[in-house]
Structures are given as C-alpha cells and as structure tokens.
Structure 1
Amino acid sequence: MKRGKKNWGSRERSSMSFLIVILFFAVFGLIILTEVFMIDERSHSGLMAMRAGGGGGSLRDCIDVDFAASSSNGSATGPIRRPLPHAPPSGDQIPDRMAVCVKPFHFSYDQALYLMEYLEFYALLGVSHFTFYNHTLGPHASCVLQSYQRGQVPGNLTAFDWEPLQPAEAANNATPRVLKSLHYQRPTVSILPWNLRMRSQKEIRTEGLFAALNDCLYRTMYRYKYLALVDLDEFIVPRYTDTLNDLLSSLNQRFRNRNTGAYSFQNAFYYLQFADDPLASSGISGGNDQLGSVRASLVTQRKTRRRYKLHPQKQRSKYICKPEAVVEAGNHFVWEFSPGMGSLNVPPKEAILQHYRVSRKVLHKFIN
C-alpha cells in the first residue's frame, strides 16, 4: 500500500514538473512574439512618419535615383526632369580673393591698436575678408571690429585726395593725406560668437581653436581662392611682391604643380624683448610728430630684429591654403588634404612668417 502511494506521488510530481516546463516555454514564446510585433510596428510607424515628413498626410514613396515625374497638359504628357544641384565652382570660377581665419579671442582680448595694425597690414597685402571668433573680447577691440563691420574705417584715398599739405595745414601739424596702397581695399569683417562650455583648458586647447579653424575653412570654401590661418601676432611677409596673391601666382608659375593645395611658411621669431629699431621713432620724411608717434607704436615697425635660425616646416609654421583642397585644417599644417593634393614649402627667400612674441628664454635671462 505504501509503495503504491509512493509511485502515485512520483507520477504526480513528474506531471507537475512537465506542466511547469510547458507553461514556462509558452510564456517565453508569448513574450518573444509580443516583442517582435512591437518592434515591427515601431519600425513601420517610424518609416511612415519619415515618408510623411511630419505633415500628417500620406505621401508616395519616392526612390532616391528616380528624377523623372509625369505631368499632363491637355492631352500631352511627358517626363519633367527635376534640376540637379549646381556643382560647386572650381578653378577660375572661384573669386581670386584671399580671406584670413583667426582663432577665438580669449582672456578678454583688448589690444585695439595691435588689432588695427593686424587688419591694415594684411589688407595692404591684399586680404579682403577676416573671420574672428568671439569667446571673450574687450570693449576697445570690440569697437575696432565693429567699425570695420560698419564700413567706418577710411578706405584707400583717391588721386584727388593724394596731394601735399597746404602751408597752413603743415603749420598746424596736420596729418598728411597719403595713399595707403594701390592694392588696398577696405576689408570686410565677420565676428562669430564662440562658446563651447568648456570646464578647463585640459579638455580643449585654446577655446577649441581646431573646431574654429575648420568651421572657418568650410565657411570660406568656394567663396575665396585662398585662405590664410594665422594668429594675431603672426604676419606672412613676401620679399619680392606687393601682395600675397602676387606671391602665390608667382610660385604657381614657377613650380607649375596643379596638386598644390597649401603653401607653408617657415616661422621666424621677432622677440619683443629685442631693442626697437631707432628708425621707427625718428619720424617720417615730410610727415609730422603725430604720424611718427603712431609708427613708433606699431610692432611691425619697431621690431626688426629676429632670431637667425628659422623653425623647420611643420614646427611653428603657418600656411595659406586653397579651401576646396583641404578636408581638415590644423594649426601649423593641413591635417588632411583632398585626394591628390599636397603642400608646397615656400622658400624663405620668397617669404617667411614673422612671429612677434615674448621669449621665455630671453625673459628668464632678464629676470635673473
């Protein structure tokens, strides 16, 4: 009797275990099927939303490569081709102008006279547009840039204005009217806000200068033939030509390399601790004391001594590029070119990068 009860209990437990297993797989299968149907429904509804474009209507599904559409006009029917986007300009179609990109202003930059010298110097060399990024900018420097934006800076003088001072004007020490340059045109200026919400300089170098330079690169692409990426204390100076455009045209004619996408210039330090050039403060022949004082305040006129040794290419060097030939811009050299393009190292006898800054080594000697 006891043995019969044990057998019955074992069979009952086996049946219960079997039912539990069956129930488990049934529930598991139901969950899987539910998830599959929900995913399919979400995909279907999302696809319909993309096709409808949020307009709430039902639109025909169009194939990307199908540019033909039919239209009826009375009894006549025929295909109407949608116009393809215009190809970007290239070669001679791009305006023969030069722009300059400057890394973001920071530490409330407010050197107004130095900024004006930078703008006018490059404008004399043929630059027609400047792009600045405003992270923090002081009131005086901001006033200078706004004056350029409003066109309130005197342009080049006409031949009528280019005349000697009258005796009465000379007696009053008036500023002489001189022609800036035959190549000078009042430049245009863009000032863009720049705030990446950085927590420290350890995260992104110098207020995200690489992002700013590449933003500027693509903004100027196809609008300017050349683009220079230089800091406020850096001046690319040609030796035998009046403008940077003339310099690059001369290099193109001599080297005849169609694959040139950038022109790299070696760096030369003009340390600010070096003595001023005495000629800078000696006045200008036929000028006045006011004009001589302004000249003596210009760093490019005062500091004419430099380190004899130039830095090698890609070390402190800067460059002028053809924007459409560059994929990714760097600070001292192009990081990535378009396929088949490269950089031309400009011989120092043609032009160098004049870099005006304080030398830590020289300053250390002065302090000690």
Structure 2
Amino acid sequence: MDRVKHFKRKFFLLLIAVFILIIIERTPRIYRLITQIHGSTNTCPFQTSNQSITPLENTKHFLVSAYMDQRVKGFDIRIIGIFRRDSIQTLYCLFCCAGHLSTTTPAAVLVHSDHFGFPFGTTDIMCKIPTHCNAVSHVTLLTQPNGVEVSNHTWLLIRNKKTDGKEKKTFQFDFTVCISTLFGEYNNVLQFAQTLEMYRLLGVGRVVIYNTSAGPELNRLLHSYSQERYVEMVEWPIDKYLNASHGWLFSKHGGDLHYYGQLVTLNDCIYRSMDRSLYVLLNDIDEIIMPYQHDNLKSMMNMLQQQHPNTGAFLIQVHVFPKKTLLSTSENKNSPLPRWDGVPGFNILDRIYREGRDKNINHPPKMIIQPRFVQQTSVHNVLIMSGQKFKVPMKVCGVIHCRISTLKQRPLEELHVDTRLWDFKNKLIPRVNEILRRVELMSSEEEKENRLNNI
C-alpha cells in the first residue's frame, strides 16, 4: 500500500514537472531572462519619464515622446528623439503590455533629412508591437535584444491610440498653433498677448508652446493662459543636455542642435495634435497667419479644402512688417492706438507697412497642415507626407511677420500699406486690456484711458 502511495506521489510530481517544462518552453527567451532578473513580470513600467527630454541609457541620444502610428507598413509606434548622427547603433524596442514585459523587436532609426549640419538631429525610431502584446501602454529602447537590466531604463508613455491616417468626424479643436521655441529670457509680453488674442479671434482653440526660458512678465502671462487651457506649456530644458544653437546653420552658428531643437518640437507638436486638432499651424510667435478674404481661419480652410480636397500642407507666403514707419506709431499722443505704457514689448498694431518681396531672394513659407497627412516636417516644408501641397495666394492668406528688429531700413516706396490687423482692432484691444489687467501689467485707469482713446 505504501509502495502504491509512493508511486502515485512520484507520478504526480512528474506531471507537475512536465507541465512546468511545457510552460517554460512556450515562454519566449527574453521573457524568461527578464523574469529571472526581476522575479515577476507584473512590475513594468519600472520608471516612467515625466520629462520632455529623456536621456537614453548607454547611448549619446535623447528620447522626447512616443506615439501610436500605424501609417507606415510594418510598424506601430513612432518614438521622436534627438540622436547624435555619428553614433547611430542598433536598437531594440521593449514594451509594457498590461503590466507584462514583451519580447523585443528590432527598431528602425530614421534621422530626418533636415538637420542643417548639426551633430544632433531630429530622429524617428519606428517599432513594431510583438504578437500577443495586449493593452500596450509604454515603450523603451535597448541596445541589446536580451539579457539587459531593464530596471535602469526609463519608459515613455505611448500617446495617440489611433493615427492610421483616417479622418475623424469630430476633433477637440479646429486649429492648433505650434510655437517653438522660447529661449533667452524672451519677454515681449505685449506682442505675445496681442498675437494670442488675435489667434483666438481667428478661431484657434489651442496654442502649444515649448518653453526653454522666458522673462518674468511673460511667464505670468503664459501661466494665466495655461490656467484657462488656451495655452499648453511644454517645458523644454534643452540647454541642460546640449549646447543648443541660437541659429539655424551649423557652419555659421555652431552648437549641437538646430535653433534650440525647433525641428524636434514642431514634429512633436504635430503628433501631440494628431487626434485632437483638424489643422495645425506651424509658425513663430512673431508671425500671424492671416486670412485676407475671410473673417476667420475656418471659413478660409473650408473654401481651400473644397477646392483642393487631397491637400495635406497649405504653404503660406511670409511678409515682413518693419519695426519703424513714418505713418504708424503709438508713441504719438494723438494716435488712435493704445499706448500700453510700461508693458514689455511692442505694439503690433503699429505695423501697417508691408515690405515688398524681392524676386531674387528665396522667401520660405510657413504652413497650415492636416497632421494626419504628415509623418515628418521641417520649418518651411513637409519632409514626408501623403497628399499634396498647395501654395496659397497672398490675396487669400499671408503671414504677418512682425520682427523685433528689422534687418535693414527700406525706403518708403518699397513699402505697401497693409492695415489688415486694424480690421480686428475693436475686438482685439479690449481682449488685450483684459489679459494685461488680469496679470497685473495694466491698471484699471490705463485700461479706461485706452478704451476712451478707441471710442
């Protein structure tokens, strides 16, 4: 009887051992190795990045953000990064799938063609989600396919759960403006307030700003706009990691990365807006994309989209409005324009002269894009996209570029009077007064004086 019990016990233990062996054999090698290191697969992600710039372990590279993007055959995830171009190495994607670590998949590293000679460039890292990886939430990159101590790696949250290029019926915003980047303690508060309020009048629902450094008054203004969720502030401490250039060309300006990472932030902003905004405007804060035949951007784009239905990028001509003119100056006490004394910056309503365009000089445009058509962009041109491009005639739309300084003084006969901004003056001035009063940059008495001057 004891021998029978002993035999049954051995047989039972043998069955358990066979069952365990079968389970182990069906478990991918990387899965077993990581389990041996950490003891459990229900622990990922170990550390999620809450920064806009994340150093990649064991490399000279940086990661910015990760997005679901299934528009490129064979890939599911696009990671936007900043890679040193002479140090590209083989990388592997590792996912967190419902709290479990996945197998690794090879990454495709795509450095953008526009890097202007700088050592670091905007880079896309394309990943494929492995089979049986359900409820994928985070991703990280490894320099080896297995046997890596992944607890040292920082994970990126995967954003955008649907970017297959198919149009959604409704979006949170019709228009988003992407501003990149603020640096050098930029503090032109008056122009900033006027431009943001002008865009609101034109129908913009969200303005995304990448901020490296801004002056104290401008920070107060941006904080106020952020509280009402009109402005989305993205902290961009690029100067903590790289010698970011003040210019656009490496041979002329030096540094590690083009113009404080402008190309990186524009691409990130496109993907950030992919599933929530119908259109995205790519321009600087001293520029306003202005419709000339319509009262707002929506009616203008409805017309353009109807005429050019397969267009993903609308190219807008840029026109410079110089700093000083003979006609317009609010420094004149008899001027009908507000003076806004004591507010840092200048009054864009003074800019009523437009420079002519020299046909012998290249004038790069700015853009209104449909983000679902675009995979990679530069500042003035889309690098990879589906659909077509269309150059919008100046009579329909143009960029009002109010530079802080003018490169050279133009003779009066080379300038054209353009008071398009004044068409919005009666609505714009009260809005600017209100926001300046709210951030305590204007007193009630000054606001009253401005209001009386514009009756």
What TM-score does the superposition give when structure 2 sets the normalisation length?
0.50
Matched, 1:273 2:331: no
Q: Contact 1:264 / 1:313 at 8 angstroms: preserved in 2?
A: no
Deviation at 1:354, TM superposition (A): 1.2
Q: Distance in 1 between matches of 2:257 and 2:407?
A: 24
CA shift, 1:50, in A, is 5.2
Residue 408 of structure 2 corresponds to residue 355 of structure 1: no
Partner of 1:80: none
- Asked if 2 retains the 8 angstrom alpha-carbon contact of 1:276 and 1:303, the reply is no
Aligned to 2:145: none
Cross-structure match for 2:339: 293
Q: Tell me, what secondary structure is at the counterpart of 2:409?
A: helix
1:243: how far off? 0.8
> Deviation string for 1:301-343 (max 9, x for gaps)?
11111112277998331011011111012111212113xx121
Higher helix share: 1
Aligned position for 2:243: 199
How many residues in Structure 1 have an aligned counterpart in Structure 2?
Answer: 258
Q: Tell me the residue number matched to 2:297.
A: 244
Sort the Cα spacing of 1:212 and 1:273 in 2 relative to 1 into closer, same or farther, 3 A.
same
Task: Kindly provide the CA deviation profile for residues 88-107 of structure 1, in whole angstroms up to 9, marking residues without a partner as x.
Answer: 66242334510100011111
Residue 120 of structure 1 pairs with residue 193 of structure 2: no
Partner SS for 2:321: strand
Q: Does 1:233 align with 2:286?
A: yes
* 1:356 to 1:57, Cα distance in 2 relative to 1, 3 A: closer
State the AA in 1 paired with 2:296: T
List aligned pairs for 1:52-91, cutoff 5 A.
54=38, 56=40, 64=131, 90-91=167-168
Give a deviation string over 1:216-261, Cα, whole Å, max 9, x none.
Answer: 11101110000001101111111111111111111122x2x33200
1:155 matched residue in structure 2: none
Cross-structure match for 2:314? 263
Structure 1 position 46 matched with structure 2 position 30: yes
Letter in 1 for 2:373: A
Distance in structure 2 (CA, Å) of the matches to 1:316 and 1:275: 28
Correspondent of 1:188 among 204, 225, 230:
230
SS at match of 1:92: coil
Pairwise CA distance, 1:213: 0.6
- Of 211, 217, 222, 1:140 maps to 217
For 1:294 and 1:66, the matched residues in 2 are separated by: 58
Cα–Cα, structure 1 residues 87 and 266, in superposed 2: closer, same or farther, change >3 Å?
A: closer
**Helix, strand or coil at the partner of 1:271:** coil
Inter-partner Cα distance in structure 2 for 1:280 and 1:262: 40
- After TM superposition, give the deviation of residue 273 of structure 1 in Å: 3.0
Higher Cα radius of gyration? 1
Any idea what the Cα deviations from partners look like across 1:109-140, whole Å, max 9, x if unmatched? 11111110111011111101011111111110
Q: Is residue 2:274 matched to residue 1:221?
A: yes
Whose RCO is larger (CA < 8 A, sep 6+)? Answer: 1
Determine if contact 1:265/1:345 at 8 Å carries over to the other structure: yes
Measure, in 2, the Cα distance between the counterparts of 1:53 and 1:86: 34
User: Secondary structure of the equivalent of 1:208?
Assistant: helix
Equivalent in the alignment of 2:433: none
**Does the 8 A contact of 2:162 with 2:275 survive in 1?**
no
Q: Tell me if structure 2 keeps the 8 A contact 1:275–1:303.
A: no
Give the SS at the match of 2:285: coil
TM-score (norm 1): 0.61
Q: Distance in 2 between matches of 1:246 and 1:52?
A: 61
Cα distance in 2 between the residues matched to 1:313 and 1:99: 30
The Cα shift of 1:53 comes to 10
Which residue is equivalent to 1:109? Answer: 186
d(CA) in 2 for partners of 1:131 and 1:114?
Answer: 17
| Alpha-carbon contact 1:229-1:318 (below 8 Å) kept | yes
Higher strand share: 2
Partners of 1:327 and 1:249 lie apart in 2 by 23
Q: Give me the identity figure in percent.
A: 24
Q: Give the CA deviation at 1:272.
A: 0.9
Alignment of 1:317-336 (within 5 A): 317-336=365-384
Shift of 1:54: 4.8
Q: Name the counterpart of 2:11.
A: none
Residue 277 of structure 2 aligns to a residue whose secondary structure is coil
Task: Describe the SS at the equivalent of 1:104.
Answer: strand
The 8 Å contact of residues 265 and 313 in structure 1, kept in 2 or not, is answered as: no
